[in-house]
Structure 1
Amino acid sequence: MSVQVNGPSPSNPITPPSGALRPRLAFVGCGYLGSTYAACFAELGYEVVGMDVSVEKVAKLSQGVLPFHEPGLEALLKRNIDSGRLRFTTSVEEIAEFADVHFICVGTPQRPDSDGADLSYVEAAVTELAPHLSRKALIVGKSTVPVGTATWVEELVARHAPPEAGIEVAWSPEFLQEGFAVEDVLRPNRVVFGVNSDWARGMLYAVHKGVFELAAAEDRQVPVVACDFATAELVKVAANAFLATKISFINAMADLCDTTGGDVTLLARAIGYDDRIGPKFLRAGVGFGGGCLPKDIRAFVARAEELGVGDSLRFLGEVDRINARRRTKVVTMAAEMCGRVSGPAGPDLSGLKIALLGVTFKANSDDVRDSPALSVARKLMRAGAVVTAYDPEGMATAKDVVPDVIYAKNIPEAVEGADLVCVLTAWEEFRHTDPAALTGLVDHARVIDGTNSLDPVLWTGAGWKYRGMGRPAHG
C-alpha cells in the first residue's frame, strides 16, 4: 500500500470506540513479547491491560516482578504499574470491556510432530476473546506466524464474535531483540501494518502516535510500511531467515578459514565494509539459537512446502544444518586441544573437566531456549567430560534444562581445576576477564573462544593456548 515516515497527520483522526482520547490497549499473552510491549506502551502514555491465563505470571507482573531478564524493562514495569496506566489480569471479560485494540502476543512454537508452527495458542486467544467483544474493536496479531494466518484469524472472528460488533483484524509483526527490547519498542527502526481497511490503518496509527511523537522529539524517523496481510506476515519470518542465512554463511567461511589458515574475523571485517553486505551478524561462532530463529526458519520452510514452493526455500535447510554443526565443532576442537582421539562414536573426553562460560543463547538475556552453549554442554557430557558452567543471568533457567551440569557462582569457581575453558556466550564480563588471574586456577590453560570476542594476544600473553572459530591457533 504505502511507506510513510512517522505517520500521517489525518484531518479526521480516528476516535477510539471506547471514547477515550487515546486507544485503550490490551496485550493477550504476557510472556516476553506481551509484557515488554505492555510496559513500553504504558510508558508512552497509553492505558494498558496485559492478560494471561497464568495466575502465577499475572500475580508476579502485578507486583512489578519480571519473570525473565531484560535490561531496563523491570523499571518501566514498576513505574507504570505505580502510575495506574498498566495492570494485569486473567479475565478475558475485563479486557473485552476495556480495550479498543487487542494485541495477540502468544507463542507459536514448533509443532511436536513436524517443523510447522503450532497455532493452537493463537486460536485459543482469539476464540476465547471474540465472543466477549460487544463493541467495535481491532484484533492485531503480533506473534510470528505462517503466511495466511491473518485471514484464518478473520474467519475465526467471523465465527465467534457478535456480527453487530464489527470486529476487524490486522497484523503488525514484532522485531524485538532480546537484550535490547525496550529500545526496539520505544524506538523501532520500522513498524509494519498489515490491514484490510482504512479504519484499521487509522487505529494502528493512533496506537503508535506515542512512538511517532517520541521520534519527532528526538529528531528521528520511523518508517511505516502499510501493506496487505500476507506481506506483513512474511516480513518477520523473511527477516529472521535472512539473518540466520548471514550467520550460517560466516560460520561456513570459518570452516574454510580453519582449513586454509585464514582468519574469519578479518574476512568478516573486509566483506562487511561493502555496504551491500554490512558488518552486522558476521561474527563467526557457535551459531544462533533462542526461541525465534531456529523454529522460525523451520516453520518458514514447512509453510513453503504446504504452498507448493518448497524448492525456493530449500537452502534454509542447509542454513539450519550448518548451524547445528557448529555445536559439534566445539566438541571436536575440545578433543584436539586436549590431545584426545576420536573413534567411531566420536571423541572420548573421559576424565576431563571442562568449564563453560555462558549458558544463554545470547548475552543480556536469561533465555536458554535452543541455546548453543547448552547443546555443547550435553555433547561434552555424552563424550565423558565433567562440565562446570557459569553465566551472569541464565543459570536458574539452565538448571531446569540441563541439571547434570555443575553450576558455579562465578568465573573463578567455574574454571578451577579445568582442563579446558570454553567461552560460549558473548557476555561483556567474559570479554573483560583478566586471563592472567585465571591461569593459576586451571589445570591446563587452554581456551576455546566460541564467540570470537576475546583478545588472542592478551590470552596467549598470559600463558594460554587459544583457539577461536575460524581463526589461527595461538599459543
Structure 2
Amino acid sequence: MALKITVIGTGYLGATHAAAMAELGFEVLGLDVVPEKIDMLSAGRVPMYEPGLEDLLRRHVAGIEGSTGRLRFTTSWEEVADFGDVHFVCVNTPQKHGEYGCDMRYVDAAFSSLAPHLRRPALVVGKSTVPVGSAERLARLLADLAPVGADAELAWNPEFLREGFAVQDTLHPDRIVVGLESAAAEKLLREVYATPMEEGSPFVVTDFPTAELVKTAANSFLATKISFINAMAEVCEAAGGDVVKLAEAIGYDERIGAKFLRAGIGFGGGCLPKDIRAFMARAGELGADQALTFLREIDSINMRRRGQMVGMAREALGDGTFLGKRVAVLGATFKPNSDDVRDSPALNVAGQIHLQGGQVTVYDPKGMDNARRLFPTLAYADTALDAVRGADVVLHLTEWNEFRELDPAVLGEVAASRVILDGRNALDAERWREAGWTFRAMGRPRA
C-alpha cells in the first residue's frame, strides 16, 4: 500500500514540501494551526512569493479543476495522525527575542500536539533547523506521549532550500541527509525519496546529532565565505584593489570555488543570520564555545557592511549629510526571486538613511507589501523609474535581473544627480559610466 504523508506547518518550508511530495506521487495532508493559511492553500494560493510553487500547488490541491487531488489541508491533529504513515514537521525555529539561541516553542508544540493522537506505528520526521541534541529529546517526548509508544519513531531530515529555488531543491536535492536509529526508518525514507535518489541525489544516513549539525554547519560555511570576501572588499577599499578581480582569481582555485564570492552589503534572510547565532549559543551550552568564536566575527563583518554602505551614500552626496536629500533604493528583499524581507540588508540600509534625515524611496519587484508592513515610514514607488525620479543618489541593494537590465540613460533623464552605488557588485560599471553616471561599488576602484 502506498505511503501517506503529512506535513505539519505550512509556511515556506512546509508548503513547498507538501506540494513536492504530491508531485512525487504521494497522497499528502498538510496541517497548520492558522485557519486563514489553510483556506488560502486549499484555494491553490501561497502566502509568499516563490517561483513555481503556486503552479505546483495548483497541480495537486483537491478541488481545483484539473488537479490530481493528491494534496489536502486541515487544522485537525486527529485527522493528520489517522491519515499519515510519515509525518514531516516543518515549523519555524526563529531566534529568541533578545538572545542568540533558537526558539523551540513551535517545534515542541507540534510534537506535543501530534504525539497523543498517534495510535498506530508512524515515522515522525523533523525538517526544522534545530539545536544539536533536540532530536534525542524529542524522540523521548514522542515515545512518552504517543499511545503507540516506541512504535512512534523519530528521524531527522534537515532541509537545504534556497529561497528562489525551493521547488527545484525539494524535487531534485543535491543531497538527502537522514538521521535515524533503525533500519525500518531508513527503509521508509528511502521509499519517500526514491525518485530523487534514482536521479542521482546522494542519500546520507547519519545519527541524530550529525543530521542536526549538517544544516547549521553548511550555513555557517556559506556565511563564512560571504563574510570572507566582504572582509577582502574592506582591504581592497583601503589598498585601492578590485575585489571583483580578486574573487575571480581565487575562484578559479577548485579548492575554493567561485560561488558566494560576490562582495556586497552581506547576507540576511530568515536562515543564515539566526542559524549561525543559534549555533554559537548551542556550542556555548555544550562547552564548545571556543570552536565557534570565529562566527562572531563573521556576523560582525556582515552587519558592518550595512553601515559601510550608508557611509558610502553619505560620502557620495558630497556634503556629508542626508538632510534634504532624496535617496532611491533599488531592492527591499534580502535576495532576488523572493518576497522575503526578514533581516534584509537592503531595508536595513534604507531605514538607517531614513533615520538620518534622508528622503528614501524604495522599489522592489516582489517585496513591496512585506517591506511596507515592516518599514511603513519609508516611501515606495511602483517602478524603478519612479523610485529614481528626483534622486540625488541611487543605491542598488538587491541583485534582481530587472535592475541589471535597466537603461542607465533613461534613468539618468529623471534623476537629480547621476550617482549610483552598487551594493551587490552586479551591475555593468562601464555601461553606467558611459551613460554619464558616477558609479561606485563596494571593494572596487572609483574609476
TM bracket (short chain): over 0.9
Indicate the residue corresponding to 2:64 in structure 1.
none
Indicate the residue corresponding to 1:447 in structure 2.
420
Indicate the residue corresponding to 1:26 in structure 2.
6
Residue 135 of structure 1 contacts residue 165 of structure 1 at CA under 8 Å; is this kept in 2?
A: no
Task: Report the number of matched residues.
Answer: 442
Residue 96 of structure 1 contacts residue 129 of structure 1 at CA under 8 Å; is this kept in 2?
A: yes
Indicate the residue corresponding to 2:159 in structure 1.
174
- 1:331 corresponds to 2:310: yes
How far off is 1:212 after superposition?
2.5
Larger mean Cα displacement after TM superposition, 103-112 or 204-213: 204-213
Q: Which of the residues 45, 53, 58 maps onto 2:25?
A: 45
Indicate the residue corresponding to 1:15 in structure 2.
none
Q: How far apart, in 1, do the equivalents of 2:105 and 2:227 lie?
A: 31
- 1:431-470 paired onto structure 2 within 5 Å: 431-470=404-443
- 1:406-425 paired onto structure 2 within 5 Å: 406-425=379-398
Identical positions, percent = 56
Listed one character per residue, the Cα deviations across residues 397-433 of structure 1 (whole Å, up to 9, x for unaligned) are: 0000001111100011000000000000000000011
- 1:339-354 paired onto structure 2 within 5 Å: 339-341=318-320, 348-354=321-327
Residue 327 of structure 1 contacts residue 375 of structure 1 at CA under 8 Å; is this kept in 2?
A: yes
Indicate the residue corresponding to 1:8 in structure 2.
none
- 1:92-107 paired onto structure 2 within 5 Å: 92-107=77-92
Q: How far apart, in 2, do the equivalents of 1:128 and 1:388 lie?
A: 45
Name the SS of the counterpart of 1:57 in structure 2: helix
Indicate the residue corresponding to 1:109 in structure 2.
94
Amino acid at match of 2:56: L
Q: How far apart, in 1, do the equivalents of 2:206 and 2:415 lie?
A: 57
- 1:264 corresponds to 2:243: yes
Name the SS of the counterpart of 1:414 in structure 2: helix
Name the SS of the counterpart of 2:60 in structure 1: helix
- 1:50-199 paired onto structure 2 within 5 Å: 50-81=30-61, 82-164=67-149, 166-199=151-184
Indicate the residue corresponding to 1:13 in structure 2.
none
Indicate the residue corresponding to 2:230 in structure 1.
251
Name the SS of the counterpart of 1:288 in structure 2: coil
TM-aligned CA distance change 1:191 to 1:417, over 3 Å: same
Amino acid at match of 2:57: L
Name the Cα RMSD after superposition.
Answer: 0.8
- 1:371 corresponds to 2:356: no
Q: How far apart, in 1, do the equivalents of 2:314 and 2:115 lie?
A: 57
Listed one character per residue, the Cα deviations across residues 99-152 of structure 1 (whole Å, up to 9, x for unaligned) are: 001111000000114100000100000010001011000010000000001001
Q: How far apart, in 2, do the equivalents of 1:447 and 1:413 lie?
A: 15
Residue 133 of structure 1 contacts residue 165 of structure 1 at CA under 8 Å; is this kept in 2?
A: no
How far off is 1:340 after superposition?
2.7
- 1:231 corresponds to 2:210: yes
Name the SS of the counterpart of 2:425 in structure 1: coil
Q: How far apart, in 2, do the equivalents of 1:306 and 1:405 lie?
A: 40
- 1:386 corresponds to 2:359: yes
Listed one character per residue, the Cα deviations across residues 229-248 of structure 1 (whole Å, up to 9, x for unaligned) are: 00000000000000000000
Name the SS of the counterpart of 1:83 in structure 2: coil
Listed one character per residue, the Cα deviations across residues 56-86 of structure 1 (whole Å, up to 9, x for unaligned) are: 0000000001110000111010011121100
- 1:400 corresponds to 2:373: yes
Name the SS of the counterpart of 1:240 in structure 2: helix
| Structure 1 residue ranges (4+ consecutive) displaced by more than 2 angstroms after TM superposition | 210-213
Residue 329 of structure 2 contacts residue 362 of structure 2 at CA under 8 Å; is this kept in 1?
A: yes
Q: How far apart, in 2, do the equivalents of 1:317 and 1:349 lie?
A: 31
- 1:241 corresponds to 2:241: no
Q: How far apart, in 2, do the equivalents of 1:73 and 1:164 lie?
A: 37
Q: How far apart, in 1, do the equivalents of 2:364 and 2:314 lie?
A: 23
Name the SS of the counterpart of 1:440 in structure 2: helix
Amino acid at match of 2:372: K
Larger mean Cα displacement after TM superposition, 152-161 or 358-367: 152-161
How far off is 1:211 after superposition?
2.2
How far off is 1:209 after superposition?
1.3
**Residue segments in structure 1 that go unaligned for 5+ positions in a row:** 1-19, 216-220, 342-347
How far off is 1:373 after superposition?
0.5
Q: How far apart, in 2, do the equivalents of 1:42 and 1:76 lie?
A: 9
- 1:297 corresponds to 2:270: no
Q: How far apart, in 2, do the equivalents of 1:165 and 1:115 lie?
A: 34
Residue 120 of structure 2 contacts residue 148 of structure 2 at CA under 8 Å; is this kept in 1?
A: no
Amino acid at match of 2:180: V
Q: How far apart, in 1, do the equivalents of 2:34 and 2:248 lie?
A: 46
How far off is 1:452 after superposition?
0.4
Name the SS of the counterpart of 2:443 in structure 1: coil
Q: Which of the residues 285, 290, 293 maps onto 1:314?
A: 293
Residue 45 of structure 1 contacts residue 210 of structure 1 at CA under 8 Å; is this kept in 2?
A: no
Name the SS of the counterpart of 1:80 in structure 2: coil
Listed one character per residue, the Cα deviations across residues 327-377 of structure 1 (whole Å, up to 9, x for unaligned) are: 001110011111133xxxxxx310110000000000000000000001001
Amino acid at match of 1:273: Y
Indicate the residue corresponding to 1:16 in structure 2.
none
Amino acid at match of 1:394: G
Q: How far apart, in 1, do the equivalents of 2:271 and 2:113 lie?
A: 26
Name the SS of the counterpart of 2:385 in structure 1: helix
Residue 254 of structure 1 contacts residue 264 of structure 1 at CA under 8 Å; is this kept in 2?
A: yes
**Residue segments in structure 2 that go unaligned for 5+ positions in a row:** 62-66
Q: How far apart, in 2, do the equivalents of 1:86 and 1:285 lie?
A: 41
Q: How far apart, in 2, do the equivalents of 1:376 and 1:147 lie?
A: 33
Q: How far apart, in 2, do the equivalents of 1:165 and 1:55 lie?
A: 32
Name the SS of the counterpart of 1:200 in structure 2: helix
Residue 356 of structure 1 contacts residue 414 of structure 1 at CA under 8 Å; is this kept in 2?
A: yes
